[in-house]
Amino acid sequence: MENEVKKENNLPLVSACIPAYNHEKYVAEAIESVINQDYKNIELIIINDGSKDKTNEVIMSFEEKCKERFVRFEYRNRENRGLSATLNEIIEWSQGKYFTGVASDDVMLKNKVSLLVDKLENLDETYAVAFGNAIFIDDNSKEVYLDKKTGEYTTEGNGFKLFLDYYTNERDFDYKDEKKFGSYETLIAGNYLPAMSYLIKLDKIREVGAWTSGNTIEDWEMWLKLSKNYKFSYIDEPVALYRWHNTNSIKTNTLQLEIDTMNLLLRDKDYAVLHNYKLAWESNYFNNLIRFLKQHAFRLFLKYISSVSIYRFSIILIKKLSLIHQNLLV
């Protein structure tokens, strides 16, 4: 059944964005997926964040097509500043009532925008964001199934096809429960929301201060900020495709992601404790800390020991551990 919102003459403007980086192989498909949306009132903003491959050339080949399709099209090709800074820059340009995005290696399904606009237009002001699910695909855009234990994928149907099924498999809540979905209680225990499957009220992004430049877990930061004052809605169907490949940032930038995870949790500690989520916070923080030490402590030891004496290294280590201990006791 055609969405009612598509029948209206005065559709709210949606600001769509593609932050692009080193995805010459995939970015054309990402752009095409926005062009092919069945929702018409869209502006598209693309920033090429200092790609070293031919991403710029691919984007430029779509310039005329984008100018014809969208009510407004903006493109900037500049030096690398990181994803959070790029998103903040796009927010400054955006003029829509709603905001959505897709990574330059992911894909929007045809009805993503129309479904999510329709959802939010029929909810009250206590809701800030609406989500759908996402389907895993490989390098060649074929649907795949992920194994939870290994992180590897197959095309045989053994594993998880949907993003939310995969990322909530070992969690103690049902993501289809509207009261639990996107709640601070579930998010402080770890991010599980598909960053390619959302639509947010643009004024709410600005209200919470957008993203922190340099932070590599920008999606989780935004969900935590919004969940403190607003509710999230969920549509139980896929609205995007998430590409699982060897250059996903969660595979190539693990050390920085782990550091930013612990820093974000430390920044949220006071709020979590004040609102009776201390146990969920502690569990997530210490699990991440233990995993970090297991994976990186010996390498950090070798790094320090090559430039300082064992005595000086022991002092550095004790000071750092003391700071962590003090933060946890406050």
Q: What is the pLDDT of residue 330?
A: 53
SS3 14: strand
Reading the block at residue 34, the tokens are: 């926005």
Q: Which of 163, 168, 165 is nearest to 134 (CA)?
A: 163
- Of 227, 252, 277, the domain-final residue: 252
| Claim to verify: residue 47 and residue 188 sit in the same structural domain | yes
| Claim to verify: residue 70 and residue 178 sit in the same structural domain | yes
Q: What is the pLDDT of residues 54-78, one digit of tens each?
A: 999 999 999 999 999 999 999 999 9
pLDDT at 286 over 70: yes
Q: What is the pLDDT of residue 1?
A: 41
Q: Which of 17, 70, 66 is nearest to 45 (CA)?
A: 17
Q: What is the pLDDT of residue 317?
A: 60
Neighbours of 57 (CB within 10 A): 12
| Claim to verify: residue 79 and residue 223 sit in the same structural domain | yes
| Claim to verify: residue 104 and residue 150 sit in the same structural domain | yes
pLDDT at 297 over 70: no
Q: What is the pLDDT of residue 314?
A: 59
Q: What's the mean pLDDT in 292-306?
A: 66
Q: What is the pLDDT of residues 190-246, one digit of tens each?
A: 999 999 999 999 999 999 999 999 999 999 999 999 999 999 999 999 999 999 977
Average pLDDT, the chain: 89
**Structure confidence at residue 323 as a pLDDT band (50, 70, 90):** low
Rg from Cα positions in the chain: 21
Q: Which of 180, 264, 184, 182 is nearest to 216 (CA)?
A: 264
Q: What is the pLDDT of residues 71-125, one digit of tens each?
A: 999 999 999 999 999 999 999 999 999 999 999 999 999 999 999 999 999 999 9
| Claim to verify: residue 60 and residue 118 sit in the same structural domain | yes
Domain CATH for 139: 3.90.550.10
**Structure confidence at residue 310 as a pLDDT band (50, 70, 90):** low
- Of 252, 283, 317, the domain-final residue: 252
Q: How far apart are CA 257 and CA 250, in angstroms?
A: 7
| Claim to verify: residue 228 and residue 303 sit in the same structural domain | no
- Of 202, 226, 252, the domain-final residue: 252
Q: What's the mean pLDDT in 287-293?
A: 84
Would you list the DSSP string of 69-107?
Answer: HSSEEEEEEE----HHHHHHHHHHH--SSEEEE--TT-E
Task: Give residue 54's domain range.
Answer: 4-252
Q: Which of 238, 257, 254 is nearest to 194 (CA)?
A: 238
| Claim to verify: residue 93 and residue 145 sit in the same structural domain | yes
| Claim to verify: residue 268 and residue 248 sit in the same structural domain | no
Q: What is the pLDDT of residue 295?
A: 77
Neighbours of 31 (CB within 10 A): 24
Residue 6 gets which letter from DSSP? Answer: G
SS3 253: coil
pLDDT at 5 over 60: no
C-beta contacts of 293-301 below 8 A and 24+ residues apart: 295/254, 295/258, 296/255, 296/258
| Claim to verify: residue 280 and residue 236 sit in the same structural domain | no
How many Cα neighbours within 13 Å face the side chain of 8? 13
Q: What is the pLDDT of residue 4?
A: 46
| Claim to verify: residue 264 and residue 204 sit in the same structural domain | no
Amino acid identity, position 61: S
Structural domain total, the chain: 2
| Claim to verify: residue 159 and residue 24 sit in the same structural domain | yes
- Distances 282 to 92, 176, 193, 254 between C-alpha atoms, Å: 36, 25, 21, 21
Reading the block at residue 74, the tokens are: 């903006």
35 burial (CB, 10 Å; 0-12 / 13-18 / 19+) is middle
- Distances 308 to 296, 312, 314, 316 between C-alpha atoms, Å: 18, 6, 10, 10
Q: What is the pLDDT of residues 14-26, one digit of tens each?
A: 999 999 999 999 9
CB 143 within 8 A of CB 137: yes
Ranges 71-75, 91-95, 168-172, 250-254: which has the least confidence: 250-254
Q: What is the pTM of this model?
A: 0.86
Amino acid identity, position 326: Q
Q: How far apart are CA 59 and CA 56, in angstroms?
A: 5
Q: What's the mean pLDDT in 120-144?
A: 96
pLDDT at 276 over 70: yes
Furthest C-alpha separation in the chain:
73
| Claim to verify: residue 109 and residue 163 sit in the same structural domain | yes
Q: How far apart are CA 300 and CA 206, in angstroms?
A: 38
